[in-house]
Homo-oligomer: A and B are copies of this chain.
């Protein structure tokens, strides 16, 4: 019997294992993130993206970074970084500084208020993380999860 290309409607079919893993990955991250964001919000705190940016800057050597560095560290689009920084600066959590090395750019530095907020957020975030993830995932599973996800990173 001759093979016809149009016999298969879709040229590529992911295996049931791939499909199941993918679906669950999307589901679980969505549910966990929603749960943790909800706890931050009900504590009157800003979203996790603010925490992520504040943490990056808090860890940065010299306490400052170029927007383009933050963009790469957070896997954001250029315009997303720009708008996020705009809000953080407006809230007094970051300050802009001129960049002598490359005058197209700038630096952003975390302020004392920014550091204080990051710590307040961490208290809530850490508790939520422990409740949603730590309490349900033995250390061995956490290590396996991390190792397997590393293949997709």
Please state if B146 and A145 are interface contacts (CB–CB under 8 Å): no
- How far does the Cβ of A103 sit from chain B's closest Cβ, in whole Å? 31
Residue from the list B34, B126, B133, B136 in contact with A10, Cβ < 8 A: B126
Q: Which of A21-29, A82-90, A106-114 faces chain B? A: A21-29
Interface centre among A27, A126, A145, A153 (most CB of B within 10 A): A145
Interface of A is mostly: helix
Q: Which of A11-19, A62-70, A94-102 faces chain B? A: A11-19
A50 within 8 Å of B (CB atoms): no
Interface residues on A, range: 35 or more
Please state if A21 and B137 are interface contacts (CB–CB under 8 Å): yes
Q: Which 10 A-B pairs have the closest CB atoms?
A: A17-B142, A18-B134, A21-B142, A29-B29, A12-B127, A17-B139, A24-B149, A21-B145, A21-B146, A12-B130
